[in-house]
Structures are given as structure tokens and as C-alpha cells.
């Protein structure tokens, strides 16, 4: 097969591993920087241009679109979908998952366990907002944050008020969430491929920190998850419409709760923690499913 990887940097671990795994299995791979693609939108003949050439002949495309280029990256991916190229994850599903609020709304509608969550932009009654999620301690999140940045634990009511007011001053959208203290600074990353959890790891925050992100000094270890956790991760992936994703769960005393579904999950952490060939499994999934125009949305919406 001819496989394209939409990635800004061929040297990143995840991109490198996908190239390696695809080539090992006899495929041809080309890494394409989405920001350098330009397109011409004419009736019935979608094309993508790149460095003076027309990109053609791909059977499948693996989107690795960074959060900061979601808008343009998904537009480029959609163009490939319109050309009939099989996307590992569809553009619509990626856009959906990048909007934290929309994701939580979709998951809650289907009854998936979530931390009690409120969202706000300019609440006139901060007390009422805090009460609606059960009061302090709460976790307050900037909707646009990634890698644990913009996630604050407010242990008291007055700290929560101050943080919310500060964020309000920035005119930002915020989430206010019940603090899952019993998770003890740990979360679970479940790596889902084609409706199955193929690997999972536990990430533990460093001493004195509640955020378990590896970027915040957290450490990852192999872990066994319960059938309920497994089922929750699989359902979340299905509701989001993602073939490949990382579902982050917290162990709460009301069962597993989904914190986030990541449509471009990193491969390094999970391969290192589990010693599994995740990149190879992704390529195997593509081999099984890639057919022209095999998308649910046909590049729409």
C-alpha cells in the first residue's frame, strides 16, 4: 500500500515508528506536512498540491495533527477523504475530539461515566457554579489547554473563586470539575485500536503534584485494567467515532470516569511502558480496513 502520514516532523518518535512499522510490512510511506499542502476546491475533482506536485495514489492516510493546527490539518485531511483516501481517523471525529466541551457533552448524552463537570464563560454567580459541581476542592481547566497546562486544583472555595475570576478576566472558556481525590494523582491511558483496548498504562503524578501528564513529570507503568474500565474506554472511542485513540480514565469512587479522548495518542510512552508493537498494530488495522471511500462521512461536515 501507499500510505501518507500527515505529520509536521518525520523525526518525532510516533511518526518514526509508524514509518518503520509500515516499511517493515512492505508498504511505501510519505510524510506530509499539512501546513504546506494547498488545495484547489473545484467541483468533483478534489486535489492536494504539495511542493509544486499533485499528491496522488495514496491508499490510506494517518493523521497526526497537532492541537495547534487542528483547523487547517483537518481541512487537508478532509480533502484526502474527498479523494477517496482511507483515513485512520476521520476529520470529523478529530475535530469533535479536539473540542473538550463537545466531547464531554457527547459522552454524557450516552451515559459514559464522567467527573461531575460544569462549564462557563462569564458566570455571574460563581458560588452557584461551584455548588453545582459539589463545591471545593475542584479542578478548573482552560478549555484550550493541553499537556496539563491550564489545569488548576483549587482546594478551597475562596481559591476556586479567585481562579475562576482570573480566568474570567482572560475571557476564556472554562471547565469546573469535581476533584477525583481518590485517584491519588494517577490516571489510566487506554490505547484503543479498532474497538479494542490493545494496551494500557497507569500514569502517576510526581510527588506533590496532582497532574499525571508525562510532560508534568509523571511516570508511566504497565497496568491491568478492569473489565468495566475496558468497556468504558471502548464505548468512549466508539461514541467519538475514532478508530485509534487514547482514552484517559480516572479511578473514582463512582467507577471509571473519562477525562479525555485523544485522537493523536503518543506512541512512545505506551510502547515503552508495555513493550508492545503499537505502531505495527496500527498498520495492521489499516491493512484490514483501507478501501477507497471507506469513510462514514465521505469527507463531509
Residue of the chain from 210, 241, 267, 283 that contacts ligand ADP (CB under 6 A): 210
The answer to whether 213 contacts ligand ADP (rule: CB under 6 A) is yes
Tell me, by CB under 6 A, how many residues bind ligand ADP.
Answer: 23
Q: Which residue, 3 or 258, is less far from ligand ADP as judged by CB?
A: 258
Residue closer to ligand ADP by CB (options 61, 163) is 163
217 binds ligand ADP (CB under 6 A): no
Instruction: Using the minimum distance from each CB to ligand ADP, give the nearer residue, 58 or 179.
Output: 179
Q: Which long-range contacts (CB under 8 A, 24 or more apart) does 70-73 make?
A: 70/94, 70/95, 70/98, 72/34, 72/35, 73/6, 73/34, 73/35
Binding of ligand ADP by 146 (CB under 6 A): yes
Parallel/antiparallel/unpaired status of strands 86-87 and 60-63: parallel
User: 289 phi and psi, to 5 degrees?
Assistant: -115, -15
- Site map 230..269 versus ligand ADP, x via CB under 6 A: ------------------x-x--------xx---------
Reported for 41-47, long-range contacts at CB under 8 A and 24+ positions apart, including other chains, are 46/79, 46/82, 46/83, 46/299, 47/79, 47/83
Question: What letter does residue 253 receive in the DSSP assignment?
Answer: B
Cα–Cα distance list, 54 to 27, 46, 48, 80, 299 (Å):
20, 11, 6, 12, 19
Quick one: which segment of 49-57, 65-73, 101-109, 210-218 binds ligand ADP (CB under 6 A)?
210-218
List the grid coordinates of 43. 467541483
Residue 73 vs 115, nearer CB to ligand ADP: 115
Segment lying near ligand ADP (by CB under 6 A), choices 73-81, 121-129, 206-214, 268-276? 206-214
Residues that bind ligand ADP (CB under 6 A): 115, 139, 141, 145-148, 151, 177-180, 183, 187, 205, 210-213, 248, 250, 259-260
Amino acid at each position: 500500500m501507499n500510505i501518507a502520514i500527515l505529520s509536521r516532523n518525520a523525526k518525532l518518535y510516533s511518526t518514526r515508528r509508524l514509518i518503520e512499522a509500515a516499511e517493515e510490512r512492505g508498504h511505501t510511506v510519505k510524510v506530509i506536512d499539512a501546513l504546506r499542502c494547498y488545495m484547489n476546491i473545484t467541483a468533483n475533482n478534489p486535489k492536494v498540491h504539495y511542493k509544486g506536485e499533485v499528491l496522488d495514489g495514496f491508499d490510506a492516510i494517518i493523521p497526526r495533527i497537532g492541537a495547534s493546527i487542528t483547523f487547517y490539518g483537518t481541512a487537508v485531511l478532509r480533502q484526502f477523504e474527498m479523494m477517496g483516501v482511507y483515513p485512520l481517523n476521520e476529520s470529523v471525529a478529530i475535530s469533535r475530539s479536539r473540542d473538550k466541551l463537545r466531547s464531554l457533552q457527547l459522552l454524557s448524552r450516552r451515559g459514559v461515566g464522567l467527573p461531575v463537570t460544569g462549564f462557563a464563560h462569564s458566570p455571574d454567580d460563581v458560588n452557584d457554579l461551584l455548588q453545582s459541581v459539589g463545591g471545593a476542592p475542584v479542578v478548573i481547566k482552560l478549555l484550550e489547554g493541553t499537556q496539563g497546562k491550564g489545569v488548576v486544583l483549587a482546594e478551597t472555595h475562596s481559591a476556586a473563586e479567585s481562579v475562576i475570576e482570573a480566568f474570567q478576566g482572560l475571557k476564556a472558556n472554562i471547565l469546573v470539575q469535581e476533584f477525583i481525590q481518590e485517584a491519588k494523582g494517577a490516571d489510566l491511558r487506554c490505547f484503543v485500536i479498532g474497538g479494542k483496548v490493545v494496551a494500557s498504562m497507569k500514569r502517576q503524578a510526581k510527588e506533590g503534584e496532582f497532574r499525571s501528564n508525562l510532560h508534568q513529570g509523571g511516570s508511566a507503568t504497565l497496568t491491568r485494567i478492569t473489565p468495566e474500565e475496558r468497556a468504558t474506554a471502548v464505548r468512549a472511542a466508539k461514541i467519538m467515532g475514532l478508530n485509534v485513540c487514547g482514552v484517559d480514565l480516572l479511578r473514582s469512587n463512582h467507577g471509571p470516569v473519562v477525562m479525555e479522548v485523544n485522537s493523536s495518542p503518543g506512541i512512545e510512552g505506551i510502547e515503552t511502558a508495555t513493550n508492545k508493537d503499537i505502531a505495527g498494530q496500527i498498520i495492521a488495522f489499516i491493512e484490514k480496513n483501507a478501501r477507497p471511500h471507506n469513510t462514514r462521512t465521505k469527507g463531509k461536515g
